[in-house]
Amino acid sequence: MTHESAGKWHRRLTITEEADDLIEDVVETRGGPTAAMRLAAMPVGPPANGSSRLGLQLVLHPQTGDELVAGPGGAQLLIDPRVAAIVEDKTLDTAIDEDGNESLVLVGPDLPRPCR
């Protein structure tokens, strides 16, 4: 999947059809017409430790430097520039837990595959 960032095209994160559908559903039901889903570095613990993890959030506007990746059905995902290199060879997919709840998961050659 390619996306545009600062006028250049790059190979980046792939979004499956299932993830595309879930992104669209979340944005439409929880975010409204101007919202978007954003994959970003989220702080963990006290600010002084500087730790972070990947997380998804609904936003009304992209942040400076965000990259846009479109799914096969047109869902749009903003990528925090601090995590773009981490996710460039990954796939955003869905997984269903034992209670039947669907969630977005990041999969790749160096990550364990979640159960469906």
Per-residue pLDDT of the chain (116 residues; tens, 9 = 90+): 344 444 444 457 899 999 999 999 999 999 888 889 999 988 777 766 667 788 899 999 999 999 999 999 999 899 999 888 888 889 999 999 899 999 998 888 776 555 44
- Compute the distance between CA of residue 3 and CA of residue 12 in angstroms, rounded to an integer: 7
How does DSSP assign the chain, residue by residue? -EEEETTEEEE--EE-HHHHHHHHHHIIIII-TT-EEEEEEEE-S-GGG--EEEEEEEESSPPTT-EEEE-TTS-EEEE-TTTHHHHTT-EEEEEE-TTS-EEEEEE-TTSPPPP-
Instruction: Note the pLDDT of residue 44.
Output: 76
Give CATH for domain 12-44+52-107: 2.60.300.12
- Compute the distance between CA of residue 111 and CA of residue 71 in angstroms, rounded to an integer: 21
Residue ranges per domain, the chain?
12-44+52-107
pTM for this entry: 0.78
Q: Are 78 and 68 in contact (CB under 8 A)?
A: yes
